[in-house]
């Protein structure tokens, strides 16, 4: 956990829960599991949660851990900030009890000065939990009870002005959260997002996200391992959803209809980093940027990852290269990235294919077609300026 973060789309990380398991191919080389298995392996919050195999790939053991010492940390951070929740876990992992989630939501409700960014893969469980979230669940959490008790007992005439000011802020937060949840509205400072690495995972997770009450809904397509078309997310057999307009269609004009009022508010895209990183096709990132631009939805390009555009080299030059096939725009000829151990011959690039090279995260950078894309939902800066 850190009061600051180098992650491009947040300001701080908060890890009240740690531990996870692999959910899909995007998890195969999880950076958090690698940290838990190496540099943080002796830390009480990570010890025993992950192990490296003979190939040097780390994996979670399946155990999850509640870190009591960090639960109330956001309540002590005075400066408003964006906070990535459970950066080394999935808040809605099947092994995490509802009671732990209640406590996390209680803290988020008590800290309205912050914006909490919850990014997960277990979208169905998130939908079920958040859709039924009410004030009674939060009132049972220790953190809520402590705040309620402090407000009720704040009658000490010798208390410092700072103490009384903090107590008044807690009282306002308690009141606002009660009003919000009793009215069936989502907490305004909690953003909910899902991560997906390809079309299949986007189809599986985004419909549940759109059906979940949230102030802001976002998708993190990182590590991006395949093309994703957000205007045709498959919610059910034969039907598609345009996540930017909430329009559902199945090819029959008489059956097309509004899926609802929920839309995707923000899209993050990035390539994979780390020693086992897989390359991202430039066309996949460009397509998502263009989809967002057409819909007027904020787009943030986080990084290329370890792979960048290769400088020209003589054919056969040894190295870590990949051929990114020409984007032909046809389902019959999908874009692919094929790793090779040498710079390819010119005939391999026929039709407009390009060459990528493993150059390292820093050298690859985060420019897409010559510029940095750091767009955020407008509400992000309402109280973070």
Neighbouring-strand partners of residue 300: 268, 374
The per-residue pLDDT for 381 is: 37
Residue range 168-189: average pLDDT? 94
Q: Quickly list DSSP for 268-317.
A: EEE---STTPPP--HHHHHHHHHHHHHHT--EEEEE-TTEEEPPP--TT-
The per-residue pLDDT for 292 is: 97
pLDDT-derived band of residue 155, with 50, 70 and 90 as boundaries? low
Q: In residues, how long is the chain? A: 385
CA distance 146 to 169: 14
Quick one: DSSP state of residue 78? -
The least confident of 119-128, 256-265, 287-296, 308-317 is 256-265
CB of 300 closer than 8 Å to CB of 374: yes
Q: Is the pLDDT reported for residue 159 higher than 90?
A: no
Which residue, 334, 333, 285, is CA-closest to 308?
A: 285
Residue range 15-36: average pLDDT? 97
The per-residue pLDDT for 153 is: 83
CB of 305 closer than 8 Å to CB of 223: yes
The per-residue pLDDT for 382 is: 41
The per-residue pLDDT for 79 is: 94
Residue range 17-29: average pLDDT? 97
Residue range 183-205: average pLDDT? 96
Residues 53-59: contacts with CB within 8 Å, 24+ apart?
A: 56/275, 56/276, 57/28, 57/29, 57/276, 58/30, 58/33, 58/34, 59/22, 59/30, 59/33
CA distance 69 to 354: 50
Please write the tens of the pLDDT for every residue from 208-235: 999 999 999 999 999 999 999 999 998 7
CA separation, residue 142 to residues 45, 73, 112, 148 (Å): 20, 14, 18, 10
The per-residue pLDDT for 157 is: 63
CB of 202 closer than 8 Å to CB of 219: yes
Q: Is the pLDDT reported for residue 154 higher than 80?
A: no
**Structure-token pair, residue 77:** 């951070």
Residue range 278-294: average pLDDT? 97
pLDDT-derived band of residue 349, with 50, 70 and 90 as boundaries? confident
The per-residue pLDDT for 331 is: 60
Residue range 89-109: average pLDDT? 98
Question: How would you class 238 by CB atoms within 10 Å of its CB: exposed for 0-12, middle for 13-18, buried for 19 or more?
Answer: exposed
pLDDT-derived band of residue 255, with 50, 70 and 90 as boundaries? very low
Q: Is the pLDDT reported for residue 385 higher than 50?
A: no
Please write the tens of the pLDDT for every residue from 321-331: 999 998 766 56
Mean of the per-residue pLDDT values of the chain: 91
Residue range 288-294: average pLDDT? 97
The per-residue pLDDT for 238 is: 60
Provide the percentage of residues in the chain whose pLDDT is more than 90.
79
Cβ neighbours of residue 277 closer than 8 Å, sequence gap 6 or more: 29, 223, 271, 305, 306, 307, 358
The least confident of 48-57, 157-166, 221-230, 356-365 is 157-166
The per-residue pLDDT for 266 is: 98
Provide the percentage of residues in the chain whose pLDDT is more than 70.
91
**Higher per-residue pLDDT: 104 or 158:** 104
The per-residue pLDDT for 246 is: 73
Q: Is the pLDDT reported for residue 62 higher than 70?
A: yes
Which residue, 364, 246, 360, is CA-closest to 295?
A: 246
């Amino acid at each position: 956990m850190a009061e600051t973060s180098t992650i491009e789309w947040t300001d701080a990380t908060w890890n009240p829960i740690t531990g996870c398991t692999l959910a899909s191919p995007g998890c195969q080389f999880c950076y958090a599991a690698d940290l838990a298995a190496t540099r943080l392996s002796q830390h009480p919050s990570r010890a025993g949660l992950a192990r490296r195999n003979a190939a040097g790939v780390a994996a979670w053991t399946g155990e999850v851990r509640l870190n009591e010492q960090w639960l109330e940390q956001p309540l002590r951070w005075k400066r408003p900030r964006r906070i990535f929740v459970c950066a080394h876990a999935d808040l809605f992992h099947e092994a995490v009890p509802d009671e732990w989630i209640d406590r996390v939501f209680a803290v988020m409700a008590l800290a309205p000065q912050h914006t909490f960014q919850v990014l997960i893969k277990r979208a169905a469980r998130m939908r079920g939990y958040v859709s039924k979230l009410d004030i009674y669940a939060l009132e049972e959490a220790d953190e809520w009870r402590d705040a309620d008790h402090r407000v009720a007992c704040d009658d000490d005439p010798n208390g410092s002005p700072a103490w009384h000011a903090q107590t008044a802020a807690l009282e306002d937060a308690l009141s606002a959260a009660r009003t919000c949840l009793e009215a069936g509205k989502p907490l305004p400072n909690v953003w909910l997002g899902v991560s997906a690495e390809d079309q299949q995972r986007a189809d599986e997770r985004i419909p549940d996200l759109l059906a979940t009450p949230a102030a802001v809904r976002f998708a993190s397509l990182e590590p991006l391992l395949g093309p994703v078309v957000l205007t045709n997310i498959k919610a059910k057999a034969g039907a598609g959803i345009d996540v930017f307009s909430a329009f559902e269609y199945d090819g029959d004009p008489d059956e097309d209809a509004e899926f609802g009022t929920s839309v995707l508010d923000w899209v993050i895209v990035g390539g994979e980093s780390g020693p086992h990183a897989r390359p991202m096709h430039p066309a996949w990132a460009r397509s998502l940027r263009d989809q967002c631009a057409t819909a007027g939805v904020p787009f943030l390009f986080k990084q290329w990852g370890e792979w960048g555009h290769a400088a020209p080299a003589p054919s056969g030059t040894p190295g870590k290269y990949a051929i990114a096939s020409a984007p032909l725009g046809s389902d019959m000829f999908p874009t692919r990235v094929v790793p090779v151990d040498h710079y390819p011959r010119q005939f391999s690039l026929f039709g407009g294919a390009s060459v990528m090279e493993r150059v390292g995260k820093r050298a690859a950078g985060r420019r897409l077609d010559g510029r940095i894309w750091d767009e955020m939902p407008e509400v992000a800066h309402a109280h973070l300026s």
